[in-house]
Amino acid sequence: MGTIYLIRHGQASFGHSNYDQLSKLGFEQARVLGEHLRERLPKVDAVYQGSMRRHRETAETCLAAMGLSLPVQELPDYNEYDHEEVIARYEPRYADKRVMQVELAQTGEPKRAFQAMFSQAVDRWISGSADGDYRESWRAFKDRCDRALDATIAQLGDSKTALVFTSGGVISALTQRLLRIPEHELMTLNWNIANASLSKLLYSRRGISLSSFNEQGHFEGRQSELLSFR
């Protein structure tokens, strides 16, 4: 039996010009995760990451805290979907982030307003009713996530342990596949995946199963102030 830990990146820089980088909190989350894994995992056979900056920064910080010097294999198929395109196809005016920020701020509860808007934008994407509007349809994204996981298992071979640094959308899509959760529940999964959390997969020649989802115990107790979801 082999084990793959899907790790969501630490908190990125939401609202900044470059979202694809860790915030100060994100780096601290990655460090604490690494300390947790150093005690938990006596051996790691391989490490994978998507090609996004937030994946790389999480992996580097976490592995340094673990004292682990394994080479990291980059698989772009572990990259997140393009959330900016999903939003812009739902509301073309929001291709200009300044317009979106101003309008959401006018609601008085911009975070809640963003969540409601984004959920509707993702529902449109997932529905398949406008696949031609997107560079990557929902089905294509799901297929890409499946391809990444299958390639990882094929490379690992039997009874290995691997870390995969990726994003919440990828973890949600793979969880939806393994548990056969209705697609319209994707955002329920996605909103609840904590930054720098762990989801544990077990694999063998008989198949793949989800052993745990969204583990965040390393952010309990004295580290509770590090818990975040956005």
Please check whether residue 31 is in contact with residue 4, taking contact to mean a CB–CB distance below 8 angstroms: no
- CA-to-CA separations, 115 to 63, 110, 151, 190, 209, in angstroms, rounded: 32, 9, 33, 11, 30
Q: Is the pTM of this model over 0.85?
A: yes
Neighbouring residues of 134: CB distance < 8 A, sequence distance ≥ 6: 85, 86, 89, 125
Mean residue pLDDT across the chain? 93
DSSP secondary structure code for residue 70 in this structure = P
- For 44, other C-beta atoms within 10 Å of its C-beta total 17
pLDDT in tens, 19-54: 788 999 999 999 999 999 999 999 999 999 999 999
Domains, the chain, with CATH or none: 2-80+136-226 (3.40.50.1240), 82-135 (no CATH)
The 10s digit of each residue's pLDDT in 168-200 is: 999 999 999 999 998 888 888 888 999 999 999
